[in-house]
């Protein structure tokens, strides 16, 4: 994707399972890590301010946290989850589900405001789930209009753990859920893993769970965390057009990104190679357009019920689904399905390659009626399925149209999107229009060192009252190759390198969203997003392998405060230590990842 795709070589379908490259890189275990693994950590004698503290592994790094020298909280067979306030019971159910298998504990959920020393207390403390709009925007690190746009309430939370219990408070259920993800990272990884305590004991030959589980429970270090996100929009993008992923795979990815406190999953649903969503008004789109994928692999599409299932799973984790219908370019699947959309009325052949820029909707007046009807039907049906506020309409790499035709098509495309009541998002090329609907959001995908044209187009969104999502390809694109070019079990490497790749974990972390495009400052940044394009990627295991650990960098950039010293930059060493903690959790949950060099992986 994005115009610089490398030539693709035929390859066999990869088997599911672990990757040969997953063990690459040195392991630099430390004493504190060993103590964490034993579930018996007592922090050092002094409180530690956040921003680089490597003892507890909360990632993204909290806005404020201290870890006093006091007895830890212990999750035991006596632990209950005590919930109060609007939405708290739903969060409690998700937390209990994450912990019951790994611990073997019942973890009953009860309503109430206080608990015993072994309990986890979850409390929504405001009168309403959405909270006050101005306060909510402040909690989201954004402008006053963010609260209404996001529609998920405040994500701020306070977490306290110690011998007297664990307590999470928030003004809204969204914040409560974010706090539970921090608690999971403070607990030993096996507590929330997919293997039961009995199975771990049997595998180790022990009579009782050992290693992660102390005889008297699972310990989380004493902590006091006061946390809130920097940016309102913190996303991951999944390209299901080049290679289709079944619903359960998308749900698996949602669970993985929820742990990183991301709040958006952008689904790239249409492209030259495939159309992946049922549209009742145009059944040909899935009858023809969904049958193909890159390299002749099997296609597929989501029925409306499939899509609703994805939306519901995301909403329970306070993640907004942003659907993308890429227009006017990247449309070969649509053009192959509906001959009338082509200027000559002849459908092109389905496409299985990886080149870009050759397809476009027709700007001819003779095709205006059918094209506008297509745009209205598609945007309406997608919007009706999507409770979130955004509709992504692409706009990138439309190289088969003249600039004049491109702008004319953009006007019709964005008008159709705005007519649904959604806020339009477009890749930065859409900034070529000087008549974007109010609030249109630009998504920047050029480089950390901005190219002049990309910067100018991005500023156009701000000049027209919109904001910007930053996805610099040389830092945020998760399909760029790793430096050591690890192989799958079948000896096949993944990813591309056109965006100044390969891309290291440190490069994914070492950029600042407000420093890329001059004139686009903190108030103009809606957030950040990490796309993964699937020209070379076929399975959810391969998606995870390419996404983790680099997605952690984008998650922390979006959530954690800006560096106090802009010249010194972020604390890379502290970040890498937090990533190591995530590695334990990925192992316990069966999530694929690449053990990149430089991270002090444990075990």
Catalogue the active-site residues.
397
Stated as kind and residue range, the H or E segment containing 274 is strand 274-275
Distance CA 600, CA 603 (A): 10
DSSP string over 471-483: --HHHH-TTBPPT
Distance CA 315, CA 322 (A): 12
Distance CA 424, CA 32 (A): 47
What residue has token string 């979006």? 558
DSSP string over 224-257: EEEE--S-SEEEEEEE-SSS---HHHHHHHHHHH
DSSP string over 533-597: --SS--SHHHHHHHHTTHHHHHHHHHHSPPPSSTTT---HHHHHHHHHHHHHHHHHHT------T
The CA-atom distances, in angstroms, between 22 and each of 19, 591, 597 are 5, 11, 11
Tokens of 513: 């969203």
Q: Compute the C-alpha angle 440/365/402, nearest 5°.
A: 60
Tokens of 412: 């019709």
330 Rama class: left (phi>0) / alpha (psi -120 to 50) / beta: left
Q: Three-state secondary structure along 168-183?
A: EEECCHHHHHHHHHHH
Adjacency order of strands within the sheet including 165-170? 64-66, 223-227, 157-162, 165-170, 120-124, 81-84, 109-111
Distance CA 197, CA 107 (A): 15
Distance CA 392, CA 322 (A): 7
Helices 403-419 and 368-385: crossing angle in degrees, nearest 10, is 40
The CA-atom distances, in angstroms, between 303 and each of 279, 308, 448, 533 are 9, 9, 38, 22
Q: Is 72 exposed, middle or buried (0-12, 13-18, 19+ CB in 10 A)?
A: buried
């Amino acid at each position: 994707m994005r115009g610089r795709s490398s030539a693709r070589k035929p390859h066999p379908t990869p088997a599911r399972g672990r990757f040969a490259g997953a063990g690459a890189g040195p392991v630099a275990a430390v004493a504190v890590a060993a103590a964490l693994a034993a579930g018996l950590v007592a922090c050092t004698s002094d409180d530690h301010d956040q921003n680089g503290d490597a003892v507890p592994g909360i990632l993204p790094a909290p806005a404020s946290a201290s870890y006093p020298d006091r007895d830890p909280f212990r999750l035991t067979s006596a632990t209950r989850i005590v919930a109060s306030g609007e939405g708290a019971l739903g969060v409690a159910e998700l937390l209990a589900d994450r912990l019951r298998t790994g611990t073997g504990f019942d973890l009953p959920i009860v309503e109430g405001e206080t608990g015993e020393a072994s309990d986890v207390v979850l409390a929504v403390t405001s009168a309403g789930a959405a909270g006050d709009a101005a306060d909510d925007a402040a909690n989201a690190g954004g402008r006053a209009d963010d609260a209404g746009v996001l529609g998920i309430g405040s994500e701020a939370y306070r977490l306290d753990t110690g011998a007297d219990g664990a307590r999470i408070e928030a003004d809204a259920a969204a914040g409560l859920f974010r706090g539970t993800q921090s608690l999971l990272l403070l607990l030993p990884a096996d507590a929330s893993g997919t293997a039961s305590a009995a199975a771990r004991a049997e595998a180790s030959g022990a009579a009782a769970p050992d290693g992660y589980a102390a005889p008297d429970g699972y310990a989380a270090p004493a902590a006091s965390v006061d946390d809130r996100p920097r940016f309102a929009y913190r996303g991951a993008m999944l390209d299901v057009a080049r290679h289709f992923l079944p619903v359960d795979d998308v749900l698996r990815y949602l669970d993985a990104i929820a742990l990183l406190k991301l709040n958006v999953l952008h689904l790239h649903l249409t492209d030259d190679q495939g159309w992946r969503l049922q549209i009742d008004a145009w059944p040909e789109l899935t009858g023809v357009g969904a049958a193909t994928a890159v390299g002749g692999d099997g296609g597929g599409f989501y029925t409306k019920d499939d899509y609703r299932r994805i939306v519901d799973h995301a909403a329970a984790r306070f993640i907004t689904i942003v659907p993308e219908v890429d227009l006017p370019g990247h449309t070969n699947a649509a053009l192959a399905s509906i001959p009338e959309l082509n200027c000559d009325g002849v459908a092109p052949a389905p496409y299985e390659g990886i080149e870009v820029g050759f397809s476009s909707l027709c700007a001819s007046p003779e095709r205006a009626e059918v094209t506008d009807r297509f745009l209205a039907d598609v945007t309406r049906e997608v919007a009706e399925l999507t409770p979130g506020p955004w509709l992504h309409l692409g706009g990138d790499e439309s190289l088969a149209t003249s600039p004049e035709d491109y702008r004319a098509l953009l006007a019709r495309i964005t008008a159709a999107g705005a007519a649904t009541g959604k806020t339009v998002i477009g890749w930065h090329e859409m900034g070529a229009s000087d008549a974007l609907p109010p609030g249109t959001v630009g998504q920047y995908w050029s480089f950390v060192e901005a190219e002049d044209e990309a910067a100018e187009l991005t500023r156009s969104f701000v000049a027209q009252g919109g904001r910007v999502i930053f996805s610099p390809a040389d830092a945020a694109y998760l399909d760029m190759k790793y430096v050591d070019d690890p192989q799958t079990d079948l000896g096949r490497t993944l990813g591309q390198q056109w965006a100044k790749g390969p891309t290291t974990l440190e490069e994914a972390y070492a950029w600042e969203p407000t420093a890329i495009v001059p004139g686009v400052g903190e108030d103009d940044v809606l957030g950040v997003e990490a796309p993964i394009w699937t020209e070379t990627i076929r399975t959810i295991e391969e998606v995870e392998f390419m996404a983790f650990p680099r997605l952690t960098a984008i998650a922390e950039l979006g959530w954690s405060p800006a560096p106090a010293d802009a010249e010194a930059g972020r604390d890379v060493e502290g970040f890498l230590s937090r990533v190591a903690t995530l590695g334990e959790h990925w192992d316990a949950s069966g999530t694929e990842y690449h053990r990149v060099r430089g991270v002090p992986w444990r075990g």
